[in-house]
Amino acid sequence: MIEIKSLKKTYRERTVLDIDKLVIDDGTILAVAGANGSGKSTLLRILACQLKATEGEIASPENSLYMPQQAYAFRGNLIDNITLSGADRETAKQLLEKLELSHLSEKKATSLSGGELQRLSLCRVLSRKAELLLLDEPTSACDVRGAELVVNAIKEYREENGCTVVMSTHAPALALKAADRMIILGNGKIEADGTPADIFNKPETDWAKSFTAGWKTDA
Ligand SMILES: Nc1ncnc2c1ncn2[C@@H]1O[C@H](COP(=O)(O)OP(=O)(O)OP(=O)(O)O)[C@@H](O)[C@H]1O
Ligand SMILES: [Mg+2]
């Protein structure tokens, strides 16, 4: 279980994250939505211990894997990029196949397209075992097929490992297809919390209604 209490992140005078209480049950796939600058990456980075909270308490599994918003590649081919994290070649090949990157497996990883690179970054994360996956916008560079592959891979990993997943996204389809629960951040605060379908179809507040109205026209 993840338990967050009175969490704040402040830069100088400006509070960019302000979460009174958030409890995430084990095995949940939680989507974190919200406009640019609403605090999604800040929340994920704090959970990944990449960033220190200004105040508050967090109880969270130590064994977590984090995929940052900016995908990256090391030198070497795609297989090297996965085995570097400790996975064996067979696991690397299976993941590349699952994310439809097998045809590129011997290519230089630094020459991949944005969407390919993002799928490779996910392969690197999924090649290891963890109790908590923290994925910052895992489909932001993907086309429709790529996003579907990413969703399926995340769900399969959760089924196999029983882990919890916290992923930020701007994609309504990703939240609706993959997440059990969604929160929407507005200026660092939780403005909506529920199943993606409920938040999308029956938003409870005017704030959530106007946020999801924008989503409907995007979808
Ligand atoms: N080092 C920093 N110093 C000052 N402000 C910062 C710093 N890092 C982040 N911020 C601010 O914190 C706010 C939240 O940033 P964050 O990256 O969490 O947003 P986000 O919801 O992930 O946005 P996006 O959808 O663009 O990825 C932003 O307004 C950002 O400018
Ligand atoms: Mg972000």
- Whether 93 lines ligand 1, by a CB cut-off of 6 Å, is no
CATH 3.40.50.720 fits 2-70+130-218, yes or no: no
Give me the residue spans of the domains in the chain.
2-70+130-218
The model's pTM: 0.96
Place of tokens 């996975």: 87
- Which of 15, 19, 32, 41 best tests ligand 1's pocket when mutated (most atoms within 8 Å of CB)? 41
Query: Which structure tokens are listed for 197?
Result: 């379908």
Closest CA to 167 of 96, 19, 65: 65
Q: Within 27-88, where are the H helices?
A: 40-47, 78-83
For residue 44, give the ligand 1 atom closest to its CA: 18
With a 6 Å cutoff on the Cβ, whether 42 touches ligand 1 is yes
> Which ligand number lies closest to the CA of residue 10?
1
Gap between the Cα atoms of 1 and 24, Å rounded: 6
Q: 217 CB less than 6 Å from ligand 1?
A: no
pLDDT per residue as tens, the chain (219 positions): 999 999 999 999 999 999 999 999 999 999 999 999 999 999 999 999 999 999 999 999 989 999 999 999 999 999 999 999 899 999 999 999 999 999 999 999 999 999 999 999 999 999 999 999 999 999 999 999 999 999 999 999 999 999 999 999 999 888 989 999 999 999 999 999 999 999 988 888 999 899 888 776 554
